[in-house]
């Protein structure tokens, strides 16, 4: 009788493990499909035309990134651009948010270190679609903490195809909006995790 009960418990445990593994696999597959769809849906300008930077602000950001990669970050901070705000000119280092340029420059430096030649323009063009896929993942993690895994999957799918976000993150739209979304989402996720950690820590201290 004891042997039968042990076998039944082992079978139930194995079934639960298999079911949890299958759910995790399905979740990963759905997230991969969501990221790919979010990336591909933002490539229409490249498919229709070519790999170019669009609009005025993205073009200025691209020029700033090229200057930083060619001359270094210190010279970038002290760069006076006489072509911007013509005829007054502009002190670029003190009037821009350098996070976008630093991110692109770091990616370009990484590819250079592993001996993969890639033009900085291609990084700037494809940065927004790549960040869109990462934003979907960040949205999933945030919504999973707030509600459930299913809600996280729905939220990731919606943010990947949201028209308001897609219009500001198409390929070639090299502007600050493309990385602000993932940054704000990650910050909210980290705040929730920190609050949970503080709550658990305080509970442990009170128990002690």
Nearest to 130 by CA among 190, 170, 165, 184: 170
- Enter the pTM of the model: 0.76
**pLDDT bucket at 106, cuts 50 / 70 / 90:** very high
Average pLDDT, the chain: 82
The pLDDT, as a whole number, for residue 4 is: 46
**pLDDT bucket at 126, cuts 50 / 70 / 90:** very high
The pLDDT, as a whole number, for residue 165 is: 82
The pLDDT, as a whole number, for residue 204 is: 58
Sign of CA dihedral 136, 138, 144, 147: negative
The predicted-structure confidence for 164-180, as pLDDT tens digits, reads as follows: 888 888 888 888 877 77
Q: What is the mean pLDDT of residues 89-95?
A: 86
The pLDDT, as a whole number, for residue 202 is: 62
Nearest to 119 by CA among 133, 102, 107: 107
**Residue 48 and residue 42: Cα distance in Å, rounded?**
11
Q: What is the mean pLDDT of residues 170-199?
A: 75
**pLDDT bucket at 71, cuts 50 / 70 / 90:** very high
């Amino acid at each position: 009788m004891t042997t039968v009960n042990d076998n039944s418990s082992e079978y139930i445990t194995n079934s639960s493990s298999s079911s949890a593994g299958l759910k995790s696999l399905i979740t990963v597959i759905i997230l991969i499909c969501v990221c790919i769809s979010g990336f591909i849906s933002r490539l229409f300008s490249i498919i229709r035309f070519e790999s170019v930077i669009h609009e005025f602000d993205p073009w200025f950001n691209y020029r700033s990134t090229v200057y930083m990669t060619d001359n270094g970050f210190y010279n970038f901070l002290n760069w006076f651009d006489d072509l911007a705000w013509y005829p007054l000119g502009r002190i670029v280092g003190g009037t821009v948010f350098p996070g976008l340029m630093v991110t692109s420059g770091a990616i370009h430096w990484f590819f250079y270190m592993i001996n993969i030649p890639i033009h900085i323009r291609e990084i700037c063009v494809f940065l927004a679609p790549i960040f869109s896929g990462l934003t979907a993942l960040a949205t999933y993690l945030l919504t999973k903490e707030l509600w459930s895994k299913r809600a996280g999957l729905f939220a990731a799918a919606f943010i990947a195809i949201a028209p308001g976000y897609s219009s500001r993150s198409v390929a070639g739209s090299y502007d600050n909006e493309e990385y602000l979304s993932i940054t704000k989402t990650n910050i909210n996720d980290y705040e929730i995790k920190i609050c949970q950690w503080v709550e658990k820590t305080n509970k442990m201290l009170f128990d002690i």
